[in-house]
């Protein structure tokens, strides 16, 4: 059922949250869809404050977007959680149903798949993941849907390597781990997903192959990263963190509002403008 006939609220929660582009993307969608009675805000909320915040929300609330450090903290507060979110123990979307139930989902994973599909990547024979943080597990879950062979994860510690292998077993995808010092080798994979913090892959820019394939760099600010800039200069395809942010937000808008097709183009343009204004 579409929620278009009365006032509805949504917001993004996290800590820190001031940098979030989610309000820009969701509000752009509402404007394009003609949802004049919808609002979308941001709130600084940490793990300790989350239960009380959720409990105090009234019936006008349609949903919440959740960023770090709340993606796992929200799980005990839910009445239902999707298989996708369960697979990585992370919820980035909370939808309040009309009968008051709290339903959790993860749109990062299908968002990654959609961002790749938009660039013509439907399936790959193998892939490399740079890094092993929270985003890396979502990347593995996305690859479980499109990768037919081995995924090599380049990590900085044996503890991280063990985590990635465990995620591979859980997600039923073949994962081999290698030391970060060998990450240059991964750049020749059919698909490279960089999940590391800003600056972490800068030293790899000089090792981009002459004919690069596809790089999915989950960062978006500052953009481009040195790796993405060199990759693009050599003619390789680059999928950015903004692409991911837009596609996961598209799915959130559709779930929260009941609209069947959120406006991808309008949301991306709004995000690009907002990033340009940040300088």
pLDDT tens readout for residues 203-237: 999 999 999 999 999 999 989 999 999 999 999 99
Cα angle at 236 between 230 and 242, to 5 degrees? 80
Please report the pLDDT score of residue 164 as a whole number.
Answer: 95
- Tally the C-alpha atoms within 13 A of residue 195's C-alpha that lie toward its C-beta: 24
Please report the pLDDT score of residue 85 as a whole number.
Answer: 97
DSSP secondary structure string for all residues of 181-207: GGHHHHTTSSEEEE-PPTTTTGGGGGG
Cα–Cα nearest to 171, from 146, 192, 189, 206:
146
Per-block average pLDDT, block size 10, for the chain (279 residues)?
67 96 98 97 98 97 97 98 96 95 98 97 97 92 97 96 95 96 98 96 97 96 96 98 97 97 97 92
Model pTM above 0.85: yes
SS3 55: helix
Question: Is 260 annotated in the active site?
Answer: no
pLDDT tens readout for residues 26-53: 999 999 999 999 999 999 999 999 999 9
Which among 8, 26, 71, 247 is annotated as catalytic? 71
């Amino acid at each position: 059922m579409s929620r278009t006939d009365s006032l509805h609220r949504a917001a993004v929660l996290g800590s820190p949250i001031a940098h979030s582009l989610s309000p820009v993307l969701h509000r752009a969608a509402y404007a394009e869809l003609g949802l004049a009675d919808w609002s979308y805000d941001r709130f600084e909320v940490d793990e300790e404050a989350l239960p009380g915040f959720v409990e105090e929300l009234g019936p006008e609330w349609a949903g919440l977007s959740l960023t770090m450090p709340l993606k796992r903290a929200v799980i005990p507060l839910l009445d239902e959680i999707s298989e996708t979110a369960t697979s990585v123990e992370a919820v980035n979307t909370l939808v309040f149903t009309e009968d008051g139930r709290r339903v959790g989902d993860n749109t990062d994973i299908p968002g990654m798949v959609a961002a790749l599909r938009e660039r013509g990547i439907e399936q790959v024979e193998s892939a490399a993941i740079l890094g092993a943080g929270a985003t890396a597990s979502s990347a593995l879950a996305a690859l479980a849907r499109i990768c037919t062979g081995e995924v090599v994860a380049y990590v900085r510690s044996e503890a991280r390597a063990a985590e990635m292998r465990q995620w591979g077993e859980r997600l039923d995808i073949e994962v081999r781990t290698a030391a970060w010092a060998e990450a240059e080798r991964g750049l020749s994979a059919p698909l490279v997903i960089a999940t590391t913090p800003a600056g972490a892959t800068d030293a790899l820019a000089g090792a981009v192959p002459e004919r690069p394939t596809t790089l999915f760099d989950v960062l978006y600010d500052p953009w481009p990263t040195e790796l993405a800039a060199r990759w693009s200069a050599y003619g390789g395809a680059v999928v950015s963190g903004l692409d991911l942010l837009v596609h996961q937000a598209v799915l959130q808008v559709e779930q929260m509002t009941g609209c069947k097709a959120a406006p991808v183009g309008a949301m991306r343009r709004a995000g690009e403008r907002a990033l340009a204004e940040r300088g």
